[in-house]
Amino acid sequence: MAIGNGGTGSGLVVSFGEMLIDFVPSEAGVSLAEASAFLKAPGGAPANVAIAVARLGGRAGFVSKLGDDEFGHMLAAILREKGVSDAGVVFDAGARTALAFVTLRADGEREFMFYRNPSADMLLTAAELNVDLIRNGAIFHYGSISLIAEPCRSAHLKAMELAKEAGALLSYDPNLRLPLWPSPEEARKQILSIWDKADIVKVSGAELEFLTGHDSVEDEVALRLWRPNLKLLLVTLGDKGCKYFTEDFRGIVGSFTVKQVDTTGAGDAFVGALLQGIIEDRSALLDEKKLRQVLRFANACGAITATKKGAIPSLPSASEVMEFLGKA
């Protein structure tokens, strides 16, 4: 798979949503209260996806609002430094950049405590959207956190509409963060409210169970989330790999056994690699053999990311992935 080799890979991935600072305890396996010190780590799933694409040699842009504060300007600088266009980023003088305190449990899984009341990303308006950037995207990617509150919700819906009108593929990773929603019922309702607009949807096993109300990741449960508009539905199952469903075929691609240090960003690395693979060869959505190659590469990206601390510093380059696959 010619990730990062240009050619047909010149298409732009535009990612929309939150970018924030994660504060992570300097030692693993402690609660927030027990932590003696915290390291600051840039994060936010849609931003991670954009950077993952750029790390693989693709073209990426990001659309969001940050606080007009030191953290906001630091995050915009990180986007630029990582090769992501920040032409869609605006600043709010009256609101802070979002923060999240994240505990890494002993098993590498995460727990979150958020500071957003409201944070700048929640205040992005439709009038502040960089319309040209959105219209230039071959793929428009987003999550569901930007659906929680106005005015950002309206900006999100408008951006989807602009991207769709311009012929972009719409990619949706709900990235469920229940503590941010007023209730689980509202989360389920709003996350599913835009389901029939997407071309590509990726959910985790836990998100599948939450959205369907079934304690199972079997195919018949996953297919409850299938809609006629979809070209690809993916269910990621961590170290068990990833299930894929299209109109014509379905299957599972196994993952790679690695020593997990921190799963932060692993799903975003997977999505970034998937989207860049589709940019490289859109026929992968119709050709099962090609799709399986793309998903194997994406699984490798996720696995590599989980072996290191922090999301953005862990996102691999194409050469790192090829080296990893060569040894797998």
Q: DSSP 3-state assignment of 268?
A: helix
Contact 149, 122 (CB under 8 A): yes
Which residues fall within 8 angstroms of residue 326, CB to CB, at 6 or more apart? Answer: none
Query: Among 265, 272, 277, 302, which one carries the catalytic annotation?
Result: 265
218-255: b or e for each residue (b if 16 or more CB lie within 10 Å)?
Answer: eeebbeebeeeebbbbbbbbbeebbbbbbeeeeeebeb
Q: What is the DSSP letter of 57?
A: T
Is 238 annotated as catalytic?
A: no
Is 43 annotated as catalytic?
A: no
Q: DSSP 3-state assignment of 15?
A: strand
7-36: b or e for each residue (b if 16 or more CB lie within 10 Å)?
Answer: eebebbbbbbbbbbbbbbbeeeeeeeeebe
Amino acid at 100: A
Query: Among 241, 267, 272, 302, which one carries the catalytic annotation?
Result: 267
Amino acid at 164: K
Q: What is the DSSP letter of 129?
A: -
Is 265 annotated as catalytic?
A: yes
| Residue 129: C-alpha distances to residues 60, 135, 326 (Å) | 16, 11, 42
Query: Among 41, 98, 163, 266, which one carries the catalytic annotation?
Result: 266
The 10 Å Cβ neighbour count of residue 75 is 25
What's the sign of the alpha-carbon dihedral 86, 89, 94, 95? Answer: negative
Contact 194, 147 (CB under 8 A): yes
Which segments within 93-148 are labelled E, that is strand?
A: 99-104, 110-115, 137-142
Query: Among 22, 262, 268, 281, which one carries the catalytic annotation?
Result: 268
Task: Give the DSSP H/E element, type plus range, for residue 270.
Answer: helix 266-280
Active-site positions?
A: 265-268
